Amino acid sequence: MAELAAIVTGGGSGIGRATALALAEGGANVLVVGRRAEPLTEIEQAHPLIRGHIADVAIESEVDQIVKAAVALWDRVDVVVNNAGLYSPAPLADVTVEQIDRLVRMNIIAPTLLARASLPYLTVNGGAIVNVTSIFAQKAAARNSHYAATKAALESLTRSWALELAPLGIRVNAVSPGPTETELLARSGLPAERIEAIKERETAAIPLHRRGAPDDVARWIAAFADPAASWVTGEVFCVDGGLSLV
C-alpha cells in the first residue's frame, strides 16, 4: 500500500486505532480523525506515517476540512475507512427522538458526508471505501433495535454505493464486527455491572468463546483497502467468532 493516503475515522482507539496502524505498517500515509486530542497525539507517536486531525465527522463543514487536510498533506485520498460510530442501547418503550437522531447522524449521515467529500480524489486512482458496521445489522438484538437499524442502513449503503461507484473505479465494502473489546460499551452510558454482564453473555454465545480484539477486525479492513483486492466490491464481511451462525 505504499504511497496510498487513507482517512480513518474514530481512529484514536479500538478498531480505528488498530486499522490506522495496520495501514501505516503496510506503507500507507494515514490521517486519523477523532474528537479527543490525547489519543490522536498518542497514535501519531506510534507510527511516523500517521497524522491526527480533530473533527466531528457528523458536521458537514468539519468533514470537508478532513478531506482538505489529507490533500494538503499528501495531495491525494485513496482510502476512506468509516469506522466512527455510536452505540446507544434502548428498549422501544424508552427510546427518544434525540437518541435516534444521534444514532442516525453518527452511523448513517457521517459516513455519507465523508464518502461524498472524498469522491473527487477517490476517482483519480480508483480508491476504496470501507465501512465498519456490526453483526447486529444482520442479527436481531433486543433493546438495541435502532443501533442495529442504523448499521443495517450502512450495509445497504455499502452495496448501493458499490454499484453506483464501480464505473468510477471506486470499490466499496464493509466489515461487520462481532462483539469486540473497544470503548464502545464504556461510552454507551451503561453501568459497569451491566457492561460486564453483557460481555459474559456475548462470550458465552460466540462459538469461538471469546470477544474479538481490535486487531482481529483491523486486518480485514486493511485487506479491503489494499489495491490487491481490486476485484472485490459490494461485500459485507463478518468478523465475529462465528456469532452470525447461531
Provide the annotated active-site residues. 147
Question: How far is the C-alpha of 104 from the C-alpha of 137, rounded, in Å?
Answer: 14
DSSP state of 106: I
Candidates 71, 31, 37; CA nearest to 54 is 37
Collapsed DSSP state (helix, strand, coil) of residue 8: strand
- Classify residue 128 as left (phi > 0), alpha (psi -120 to 50) or beta: beta
Candidates 242, 240, 6, 239; CA nearest to 122 is 6
Annotate 158-199 with DSSP letters as a single string: HHHHHHHHGGGT-EEEEEEE-SBSSSTTGGGT--HHHHHHHH
Under 8 Å between Cβ of 141 and 91 = no
